[in-house]
Amino acid sequence: MIRVFLPSQVDFYTGGEREQHLDAQGINTLRDVMAALEQRFPGIRFRLVDEQGAIRRHIAMFVGETIVRSLDVAVADNYRVQIVGALSGG
């Protein structure tokens, strides 16, 4: 199982669910995690990933404790993925 923690910015898609558990079978990369989330919550991927398939600038993704900037990062069973939306203010 892969645990995915989602930011409030995608509550519209998830109905406010902030934690998802994904079956690790067939999930090898963060790109696969995004595909699984998109299948579960249509439209969510576009809020997190741009048209070129890159993580959006205002989104931070962590695999374990490591911040990543590529969807090609490996994930496996018992991994934790956290997606964080940037905060801004003035």
CATH of the domain at 20: 3.10.20.30
Instruction: Please give the average per-residue pLDDT across 76-83, as a whole number.
Output: 96
Question: Looking at the predicted structure, is the pLDDT value of residue 90 above 70?
Answer: no
Q: How would residue 88 be classed by pLDDT, with cut points 50, 70 and 90?
A: low
**Structure confidence by residue, pLDDT tens digits, 8-61:** 999 999 999 999 999 999 999 999 999 999 999 999 999 999 999 999 999 999
Could you tell me if residue 90 is inside a domain?
no
Could you tell me if residue 75 is inside a domain?
yes
Question: Looking at the predicted structure, is the pLDDT value of residue 89 above 70?
Answer: no
Could you tell me if residue 38 is inside a domain?
yes
Could you tell me if residue 31 is inside a domain?
yes
Contact yes or no for 76/25 (Cβ under 8 A)? no
Q: Hey, what are 49's tokens?
A: 């990933």
Could you tell me if residue 36 is inside a domain?
yes
Domain housing 24? 2-85
Structural domain count of the chain: 1
Apex 67 CA angle, 81 and 43, nearest 5: 50
Could you tell me if residue 76 is inside a domain?
yes
- Residue 89 amino acid letter: G
